[in-house]
Structure 1
Amino acid sequence: MNLRKKMVMVCLVLSLCLTAAANVFAVDNSKVPVESTYATQFVDFDLNPNDDPIGKVVKYKKSSNVKLQIVKNAEKYKKTKKSLSDAESKTRTEEIDAFFAKIATLPDAERYTPEFFSFLKEHDLVFYELGKPENSAIGTMSTSVNDVSVNTPFGAYDSVNGWWEIWGGFNYTNDNGWWSERPTCWYGCDPIGNIGGYDTLGINLSGGTAGAALKDFNMQAIWHDAPSPYNSGKTGQFSYKVTNRVGTLDSSVGAMFLGQDTISSFGLGTDGYQKFANNFGAGSVVLKYDSKFANANGLARVYYRHTWNSTTIDSVTLNSDGTFSITIKNGENATPTIIGRDYSY
């Protein structure tokens, strides 16, 4: 073999080895731990007052109002400088609502993915992490009952329209819970229909809004699959949205909503099993405020109550101490009111 052929073979082998090594040591972003992603996307204005908060997490601080610094710095770093048309604004709002509605139903450990921060950056958003409770909230019964729990509420700043958003949500941690409450069905029929009467989900702010106007509010219901082998692949998809509040409350500090959970059938699967899902196995709520909310401070608290059989929600009342009373009728088949802990905004 002449020298030229030997050199070609050596180069070919070396190239193959380097390619293999690159594949071995390549980083798969989809497998980056959520904790490490979060740590690299955190802004502390005490360390760097001029830091860019767009696409990142800023934590509540008891010693100072970081919301004002968020507004100041976001104005400097945001990429969207022009005014949006009505159509552009509508599309953008729908995208953000859909994104945060799902985030609100997730536990903290599953929120901070690379895709999460990419979305924030793309839409000129700042994720405002509310202050953790120093102790259990007055009146708190539990953040979870049996197979369902309320999740940690959070805030967000939209640097394009100057609005602040406060989100909360709940989800079933064990879908056998609602599946066991399905309508009675004899052989040959599907166990579809309502699971009891209305459930209720909401969020309330104690402490006020510093004169900020409540610009929008809604509740988004989300599908949850029946347990295997009856799961239909619907988990995480949106089912319906509610925009009408219920209960007696100050028009600027909260919203409670009624939602009917219903089991639907989605036909026979390729495995031979009928497929089912609950249209309200998870849900989110949001309050949106104008720019004055940057001066507000107080506590955010999420509420949820579930019914089954013939029981339904009877009334929702705001008490003088800022808590909600949720009563039922037509029996006692209901969870206690699940009250989230107080998070500082």
Structure 2
Amino acid sequence: MTLPTTMTAIGIKAPGGPEVLVPETRPVPQPGPGEILVKVAAAGVNRPDVLQREGGYPPPTGASDIPGLEIAGEVAALGEGAARFAPGDRVTALVAGGGYAEYAVVHESNAMPVPKGLGLIEAAAIPETFFTVWSNVFDRAGLKPGEVFMVHGGTSGIGTTAIQLAKAFGATVIATAGSPEKCQACLDLGADLAVDYRQEDFVKAAKDFTGQKGVDVILDMVGGDYIEKNHEAAAVEGRIVQIAFLKGPKVTVNFTRIMLKRLVHTGSTLRARDVAFKAGIARALEAKVWPLIEAGRVKVVLDSTFPLADAAKAHARMETNAHVGKIVLTV
């Protein structure tokens, strides 16, 4: 197929609010060795995109300055030595940047075939959250069947994914959310307990639910005063994984509980990890999670879609915190 030389992409005029996201004309990127060029049909919207727009999360060295960390579409061209996919194949991929555009390049190992039965809009909502949850909850924290798992922000993209995957792999799940409606959404996804953090103390609720034992694994994107509360809610030998700091990264914490309960408090970011690390997660998802998606046991939860040109509106939607599930741009 003959490829255009230019494309529409969303640029960031200057650090600021959603209104700084503007469509602009860019050259179509060229795939390098081992890379594929994807004609993007849809791109997921994530909190790191908001941070990048605000000027707080620059792309890693060598990555596109166009925001967007996950895409789905059709393979349009192959770089030298790329052989995993053929032109026309439907793929979903984790990218280090460049997702909010008509075309994006990605290393073939960081792309995955679209699960059977899924459309490209749903497929675009998979990579960032599923990679993050798998890497942190299962690889870093080692969640095991029969353990109790808690996720904060249960109706976020991360939250809806974490609830379903933890349940599918045999854990008991507690989710926190900010309204009765959001709590019900968590229960509908399979959570065993949903705590409205505006009305209830999640520490007390988790302790009461577990017969005062506490929670084995906690996935936290809140930070701030939640850090000490997580230590309090955790069981002996509990593991807390930090993936963001919506309430800020600096806080005064009494670390005694880490010693008394032998806790592990770890964390990670995904964007700056190398291609090989991300490829390892991709293969694990294909082997262990794709069959669950294809069987309908794990679903992609979509909140809303916006045309690419309306990326500013998509970011404004995310910043209301009213969304349940993923926000996706359609190209």
TM-score bin (small chain): under 0.3
Calculate the TM-score normalised by the size of structure 1.
0.25
More strand, by proportion: 1
Calculate the TM-score normalised by the size of structure 2.
0.26
Between structure 1 and structure 2, the one with the greater Rg is 1
